[in-house]
Amino acid sequence: MTIQLDEKLDPIYRDVLRRNPGELEFHQAVREVLETLGPVLVKYPEFAEKKIIQRICEPERQIIFRIPWQDDTGEIQINRGFRVQFNSALGPYKGGMRFHPSVYLGIIKFLGFEQIFKNALTGMPIGGGKGGSDFDPKGKSDSEVMRFCQSLMTELYRSLGEYTDVPAGDIGVGGREIGYMFGQYKRIVNRYESGVFTGKGLNWGGSLVRTEATGYGTVFFVNEMLKTRGDSLDGKTVVVSGSGNVAIYAIEKCVELGAKVIACSDSAGFIVDENGLDLNLIKRIKEVERRRIKVYADEVKHARYIEGNNIWSLPCQVALPCATQNELNGKDAALLVKNGCIAVAEGANMPTTPEGIQIFQAAKIAYGPGKAANAGGVATSALEMQQNASRDSWTFEYTEKRLQDIMVGIHRNVYETSEEFGMPGNYVAGANIYGFIKVARAMTAMGLI
Ligand code: NDP
Ligand code: 2IT
């Protein structure tokens, strides 16, 4: 059952469908936001008058380009690159680069659109953007990845800048890829512009805690949601999907806060370790050896590996989807609720389908959408930019405290907004409305932009 759109918003949504055919994930992300904005237009009719929503749904600029490169056998490969510069009302475009074979314009636009509101929620001076390529890093050598990144940057450099557009990592893009892209940027512009990328290495302008930030932030957020219900993560059983950057550091912080994480996954299957996952082993398998999560069950005899994406059938009290979009559907959500799940926080972007979200909300469990729950990553990117601008570097403890304060603040603002608009505890509405109003006010102040 789909939620009816407000009569002012329905034509806007239909226009988005008409103007962006075939971009299903973008449609889904826009619809989820529009479903919550009805009461905002009642309270602030000037936003409707000034067509703020229509303007926000249209990216300021979209760049699509050819990335030719040569593989190790000498064969020429051609990929497609994207950078969608969605909204710069609050600051330079900011958002990650995703390398995955599924990437097409509809995915980059959904991610860029979400990023506008997420970045507004952080309270930091950053606008929204996203980029990527249909390049598949799996099975590629280091030199292939380097040549690909150099070719990508040979085109994209002209669109970036510390005051213009600041990329970072996402799926398939970590420290290695940021290094290759930053290196090529530096070479072309002949300037050491640290603030043009975040997620840099620690000895060349990176920030402590950036690697951990998204996963840690998601766990801080879920803990805040539990606190509003007089509860905490201590002693909880947790299931985390994915085993990449976000998943690994979500697991780490869960354990630090006294929870037991029994499962994680990759796109082929999932592992279950009822004693609690051995995180050092996971880090070795994924971060050092870049192998499949299946290897865990070869090394830990009491652990099980199960093929497929049925991870949400495992009973748990807290579920943290940290892999990819639409990885948790209505059936999964119903099963989680039935099995006693009380809280879900999204480390990934849009991992829960619209049906799944409705089921969580109807069951009144604590459900934190990605744009609030995973905002710690980009918030710490903004802290990296701050350190770069002042040519300073902060300690781990200080930076983590800043991250935690930001997540507590996001939770508070989102919760209070949900109360103000008569939907207490609806974090979807709270996040969308708070982020939207902030951007809408800035756009209004700046005239017709
Ligand atoms: P990584 O590339 O480090 O890890 C991605 C993980 O998700 C891997 O385990 C991967 O499995 C799995 N995965 C990816 N695509 C699919 C798919 N189509 N189906 C099933 N599993 C899949 O990426 P991150 O950890 O950085 O990103 C994970 C999520 O978090 C994404 O949604 C991203 O947008 C979001 N995010 C990331 C932030 C960051 O700072 N990195 C910040 C905020 C959100 P496999 O190896 O088999 O592909
Ligand atoms: O989705 C996201 O927020 C990210 N991939 C991180 C973006 C960033 O600029 O740090």
Domain ranges across the chain: 10-56, 61-192, 212-373
User: Using only C-alpha atoms, what is the Rg of the chain?
Assistant: 21
| pLDDT (tens digit per residue) in 49-71 | 999 999 999 999 999 999 999 99
Ligand 2 site residues, Cβ closer than 6 angstroms: 94-96, 118, 168, 170, 198, 349, 377-378, 381
pLDDT at position 366: 98
Task: Name the residue of 171, 176, 207, 380 whose CB sits within 8 Å of the most ligand 1 atoms, as the mutation to test its pocket.
Answer: 171
Closest ligand to residue 246's CA? 1
- Please tell me if the CB atom of residue 243 comes closer than 6 angstroms to any atom of ligand 1: yes
User: Quick check: do 61-192 and 212-373 share a fold?
Assistant: yes
Do the Cβ atoms of 74 and 60 come closer than 8 Å? no
The more confident residue out of 385 and 3 is: 385
Q: Give the position, in ligand 1's atom list, of the atom nearest the Cα of 111.
A: 34
- Distance of CA 377 from the midpoint of ligand 2 (Å): 6
Sheet holding 165-168, edge to edge: 61-70, 76-87, 127-133, 93-99, 165-168
Instruction: List C-alpha distances in Å: 223 to 180, 231, 243, 379, 384.
Output: 36, 8, 21, 18, 25
pTM: 0.98
pLDDT at position 63: 98
DSSP secondary-structure letter at 312? Answer: G
Q: Give the position, in ligand 1's atom list, of the atom nearest the Cα of 247.
A: 25
User: What is the third-level CATH fold of 61-192?
Assistant: Rossmann fold (3.40.50)
Pairing assessment for the beta strands 237-241 and 318-321 based on DSSP bridges: parallel
| pLDDT (tens digit per residue) in 279-294 | 999 999 999 999 999 9
Residue in the block written with tokens 């803990």: 223
| pLDDT (tens digit per residue) in 361-410 | 999 999 999 999 999 999 999 999 999 999 999 999 999 999 999 999 99
Do the Cβ atoms of 134 and 108 come closer than 8 Å? no
Which residues share a beta bridge with 65? 81
Task: Name the residue of 177, 220, 267, 326 whose CB sits within 8 Å of the most ligand 1 atoms, as the mutation to test its pocket.
Answer: 267
- Please tell me if the CB atom of residue 36 comes closer than 6 angstroms to any atom of ligand 1: no
| pLDDT (tens digit per residue) in 210-259 | 999 999 999 999 999 999 999 999 999 999 999 999 999 999 999 999 99
The secondary structure element, H or E, covering residue 30 is helix 24-43
Q: Report the distance separating Cα 91 and Cα 26, nearest Å.
A: 22
| Residues annotated as part of the active site | 130
pLDDT at position 1: 61
Question: What class has domain 212-373?
Answer: alpha beta
Q: How many percent of the chain have pLDDT more than 90? A: 99
